[in-house]
Amino acid sequence: MRIVLLGPPGAGKGTQAERIVAARAVPHISTGDILRANVREGTELGATAKRYMDAGELVPDDVIVGMVGGRLDEPDAVSGFLLDGFPRTVPQARALEELVDGRGTPIDVVLRMVVDRDELVGRLTGRRTCGECGRVFHVEHRPPATEGACDDCGGALVQRDDDRDDVVVNRLEVYRTQTEPLERFYWERGLLRDVQATGTVDEVTDRALAALAAHDPGPAS
C-alpha cells in the first residue's frame, strides 16, 4: 500500500507513522531523512540542495521530487511506502502524482490526522525538552517526576523557541494555508481519509489502521 500521511504540528504524526509502517510492513519515507542522506552521501542532488541550504534558501521542488523518486526506486519501497512530510503543497502533490503514476504505482490513500486547533496549541506549548539529552516531556500529559528536571539525566527542561505561544500559532496558520488546498486536491481524487487523532496513542493507531483496512481489506503483509 502506498500511503501519504498528513497532519499539523502536534498531531502525533511521527508516532503514528512508526506504528503504521510496522503494521503494514512498508518503509517510512521522510523527506527530511532523504535530504540529509543525499547531502551526507554527496549525491548530485544532495550537492545542489546543499547550495540552497547553505544560502538559507528553500530547496526547490524539483530537487526534492528527484530525491523522492530515487528513494521510491529502492527495493524496499517497490511494494509500498508511507510518505511523511511530503507533499506539503499542491505543486508538490502534482509532481508526486506524475512521478508515481508514471511508474504505475499511484498513491492508494491519504490519511489526514485531525485534531482541534486548541488541542494542538496545548500540546505544543506544553512541551518541555531536556537541554542535555533531548527527551521530550509535557507539563500535563507527560510531566517529569521532578518539576523542571529530566527523568533520564537530570538535565534542565526548557521550552523550545518554536513551542512558544506566538510561534505555535504562526506554525499552525502556515500549515493551514499550505495544506487546505492540498487536502482538497486529494479529496477531489477520492483518496482522503480522516483519522481523529485525539485519545490514547493506541486508540489513534486503531483508527488509522481501520481507515487503511477499509480501503484495502486484504492482509496487511
Looking at the annotation, which residues are catalytic?
13, 88, 127, 160, 171
Instruction: Judge contact between 116 and 198, C-beta under 8 A.
Output: yes
Distance (Å, whole) CA 170 – CA 190: 30
Alpha helices in 25-157 (DSSP H): 31-41, 44-54, 61-72, 90-102, 117-125
Residue whose C-alpha is closest to residue 142's, from 131, 128, 132, 153? 128
Distance (Å, whole) CA 220 – CA 160: 38
8-state DSSP, 30: E
Tell me how long the chain is.
221
Distance (Å, whole) CA 61 – CA 175: 17
Q: Determine how β-strand 81-84 pairs with β-strand 127-130.
A: unpaired
Neighbouring C-beta atoms of residue 177, cutoff 10 Å: 10
8-state DSSP, 85: S
